[in-house]
Amino acid sequence: MPPEATFYLIHHVFLPPRIPQAEDYDFEHEQFLLDKVIEALRRFRDFFTDSNFDVLNTTITMIVRLKSICTSDGDVSQFELNRVLENLRDEGGFLPIYVREQNAGILFSRCRDKIHVESFELSPRNKSVTMTVGRLVRVFPGPGIALNLADFNELGLGGAVAQTITRMSHQPAAGMKQKVKKAQQEHDEDRDTTHPKMVTELLMATLRPVSTDVSAIQVRKNTREEVMWRDSRSPWRRSALWLLMRVTLQLVFRRLSDEVKLDDLYKQFMVFFMSFVVDKTSVALPNEALFCMNAKIVRRLLKLELSNAPAWFASVQNVLQRSNGRIQGQWKQIMRKSSRVIDTSSLLALNFSHDIECALPDLDRYLEGIGRRGHGRAREEDFLPPSKLHRYQRVQLPDCLEFPDSDYQWYNLAAFEEWVALHLNAWIEYHKKEETACGKLGQLIARYHQVASSSYKDNPEAVSVMLLTLLELWVACDKSAIQLYGDLGKYDACIPVGCFQSLLLPLKSQMARLACAEKYLSERQRMFEYHGSGIFHDYGTPSCFSVQYFNQSVEHQTLLRAIEDNANNERIRKQAELREKQQNYRHLMDLLSQTVCRYDEVILDARAGFRESRHSNSCPCHQYRRTAESINISIHEWPLPNNPLQAKSTVFELKVPKSFASWRDTTLFFLYNCLGVEYAAKERPRAEYRPQTYPGLSSFFISHGGQPRIGLLSQSKPHQRTHRRNRLIVNVTENDIFLNNGLHFQYFDNAVQCFVGTFKRTLRAENSCVYMLPQQCSVLQQFIFRPAQEPHGPAPNSVIATQSLAPTNMSTEEYKALATMPLGLDIQWQNILVELAAPSVDMKKVETAIFISQIIHQTGPPKPDTCLRQGHVILDDHNFLVAILARVKEVTERIKENWEMIHGLNNLARIVLRIPSLSPSPQIHDLCLDYLAMVRQTAFHWVKLVRRKASETVDDTHKTDLIARSVHIALPRRIFQSFYSVV
């Protein structure tokens, strides 16, 4: 048996676990299945001598008739059908007909002076199979009719019926397929089965006026059906011809057998046929398939519940024993090959002393040459190493942010940030009308964020400077984009201004820069006409930017006309092609109707003289029909959406302005990667189809180099990529091949791999600008986190509610004092003054230092007409500053004899350094200098004291600890350098 036909037989008869995932229809394999059924029936008949022998003769004649009317293409031969209908009229019996193109079966039978006609559906709809749990319950056949034998002969019904069925078997009818909707058009879903109503309704209704209704025995079958479909044009489903044979066999066995055991003979034959298939194919099968087939046969045997072994049982038993023996033999062979025999005799010949010797002559010569080397003196040359610190030109945009030496990375980043602070505004004023400005700034933002985010990780002060620098770069990019595209200012860029209230900015100049950027954002907000994130994802709406820009762009309007003209020319050519192919089809069908089929006489048995007339393979009718039915035409899909607004947006994206594309990508990068804004819902595409790869638009796409972050993408495939892209010429009209555009474009983020949608705020940026407390004090972290949504911090009652969670090294009073210190934006500096005057917190603890640093450096909400923020406006009050400096001096006097209060001294120094950075008063500056001189003297005294202790101790561990502490104490001595940098 051929391997392909063998597996076809197994898949459709046995339905094993692993079946094909694509259509495998081949009528040669179907013919092979017919031959095997006939052969099995003849062998099965030989086991009977009673009335069942005649029943089996009738079924053999029935299947032979079915085979004889089928051509090599699986269609019905009109000549053979006429002959068999005459034979049925004269001799009686049954005639099943497989009407392949209509997915229908017809059963003709003669009952005395009547011809019964019954029809039924073969393959069920895909939905019926996939939605059914378990087996699909079906009843065969449908309602039948009875024709008078005299009318069937005299009225010429036989010839007309034969002609109609022949045409139905190879010619599909329009409107019989399930409909699917795509791009506001309905299309035939030819991957689903055909509705059989051309046979079950039209043909039966045509015959009904000359017939009478008849009630015949029906069978109820629990059929096992599958629709397997993976990466294929059409799905795999069980053979409809095999179902036709099973139904007609069961019907005939039931109608002709004894009334006592109606289905026994059919079930017995199915067991015999399956064992017959196993016997014929077992040599070519893997063991898994053979085991599965044996199991199915045994299960059918158990369901028969045979009390006595029939004559055919021994044959089935022998087949099962042989196949089981083969499986067992294969398993024993596998076990024998898997066993391991370890041969240890080779270990006797081991010689360790010889085996470990290793000759390295090259190494020996190298070592000998070392002694013969000279002792010459190297020539002295001037050594001028290149500087690893970058110097950025004032009038030139920095283009080098590659820092190979990590030791200098912080310094180079600081140099870049200084350039942004000092020279960016002047540069953008001069270059904002240039088309390349947005692109350059976008590349600079991405590169700077990449380098700085990794270097500044876990450093909230540095992260704050980074975010401020990124904000200024984006503002410059936005200024350039609005200068080039004025309407862009009407759209919301969705920059969350509130997240910058969490920045830690120690310098007044930094706060002034932030205030300037916030003022720009506020002025931009007043220009908004379209709020929300529509600038990034709105497509094909009257107010979206792409449509507004298109309406003013002559260049894009010309591009639209060029696309439409090209598409119209293609449709004209397609119309001519359709007319030509339809004419060719009609010509071939005319030749077919005028040509007589050719038949060859085949000798079946030379001795007995048995001969048979068979349809010739070289018959010209075959060639005409095959050629006509193979004519197809590809569809033409309109390249643009039907919606005019969507068409405008599509054309805009085909030639998107370079600066706008750079601005859009840069803004989304700033929002998503820098500020932690995320999409409210991340929808991943199930497939990807882009304008630049779509044949109808790819030639009109203008690329600016590289893949943009945002672009159009459709997860719905175009018609040109569907199974409907080629249509058979029969029953095709212009409406069937001229299709609307099937793409459904949406804006897609190529970096995140999801569609662009509405945004949702996160607190990722705010969290990165908060000092982290030690793990044992993590319960206090909530009180120093004051985002824009809660500028005053948590409710004061939360301090009392959480006091039971206070750290073990902290009293309840200290916990409450520390937690309430940052609460209340307008009184945060007063809270510090209270703790200096009547301390409840321990100044030498790290937690206190973190709280104070967060309070004095966090920017907080802005205040109009001043760079001082709302929480720091108190520093404009001269009397308050004098009071707090006096308290600082008192605390310093109190702790100057205790060198273990170094953290307290650092806290006081921080407070004093923050005051001159925000106060313009010269008197306050002088007071701060006096205090800092005291801090320096105190620190110098502590350093000498600790070093003396270190020199006097004899314990090395203690000495090392004291030396390290002396270095720590010496740090405040550099406060004057910090003072002048601040002021």
In this prediction, residues 776-791 reach a mean pLDDT of: 92
Structure tokens at 590: 């005319």
Angle, nearest 10°, between helix axes 460-484 and 437-455? 170
Q: Phi then psi for 185, rounded to 5 degrees?
A: -130, 150
List pLDDT tens digits, range 355-407. 778 888 888 888 888 877 766 555 556 667 777 888 888 889 998 787 777 88
Amino acid making up residue 66: L
Backbone phi, then psi, for 93, in 5-degree steps? 100, -155
Mean residue pLDDT across the chain: 88
Strands (DSSP E) contained in 439-588 are none
pLDDT at site 974: 52
The 8-class DSSP code of residue 660 comes to: H
Residue 979: predicted pLDDT: 46
Give the type of residue at 710: I
Q: Which H or E element spans position 91?
A: helix 78-91
What is the per-residue pLDDT across 634-670, written as a single tens digit (0 to 9) for each?
999 999 999 999 999 999 999 999 999 999 999 999 9
Beta strands in 133-260 (DSSP E): 136-140, 144-148, 179-182, 185-188, 211-214, 219-223, 227-228, 236-237
- Classified as helix, coil or strand, 403 is coil
Predicted pLDDT at 897: 81
Q: Give CA–CA dist 585/625, Å, rounded.
A: 9
Place of tokens 């081949």: 26
Reading the block at residue 111, the tokens are 């009952």
78 closest CA partner among 188, 166, 147? 166
Answer yes or no: are the C-beta atoms of 761 and 789 closer than 8 Å: no
Q: What is the mean pLDDT of residues 26-51?
A: 90
- A 10 A CB-CB count for 146 gives 21
Tens of pLDDT, residue by residue over 596-622, are 777 777 776 666 666 666 667 777 887
Look at strands 710-714 and 745-749 and give their pairing.
Answer: antiparallel
| pLDDT tens profile 48-98 | 888 888 899 999 999 999 999 988 888 898 888 999 999 998 888 999 999
* pLDDT at site 980: 44
Residue type, 500: F
Higher pLDDT: 179 or 480? It is 480
Distance between terminal CA atoms of the chain?
Answer: 97
CA dist 943 → 620, 898, 937, 964 (Å): 113, 12, 10, 11
Which helix (H) or strand (E) element contains residue 588? helix 554-594
- The span from the CA of 263 to the CA of 254, in Å, is 6
Q: In which band, very low, low, confident or very high, does the pLDDT at 977 lie, cut at 50, 70 and 90?
A: very low
Q: How far is CA 580 from CA 585, 586, 627, 633, 739, in A?
A: 9, 10, 15, 11, 20
- Report in angstroms the alpha-carbon separations of 518 from 114, 598, 863: 96, 91, 11
What φ, ψ does residue 188 adopt, rounded to 5°?
A: -70, 130
Q: Of 36, 120, 117, 25, which Cα lies nearest the Cα of 74?
A: 25
- Residue 376 exposed, middle or buried by CB count within 10 Å (0-12, 13-18, 19+): exposed
pLDDT band at 539 (very low <50, low <70, confident <90, very high): very high
3-state SS assignment for residue 460: helix
Question: Which are the contacts of 419, defined by CB distance < 8 A and separation ≥ 6?
Answer: 392, 394, 398
- The token duo for 153 is 């002969």
Amino acid letter, 437 = A
Q: What is the pTM of this model?
A: 0.79
Q: 335 in the Ramachandran plot: left (φ > 0), alpha (ψ -120 to 50) or beta? A: alpha
Count CA atoms closer than 13 A to 382's CA, side-chain side: 2
Tracing tokens 């209230």 back to the chain, one arrives at 501
d(CA 89, CA 94): 10
pLDDT at site 976: 44
Task: Give tens-digit pLDDT for 437-449.
Answer: 999 999 999 999 9
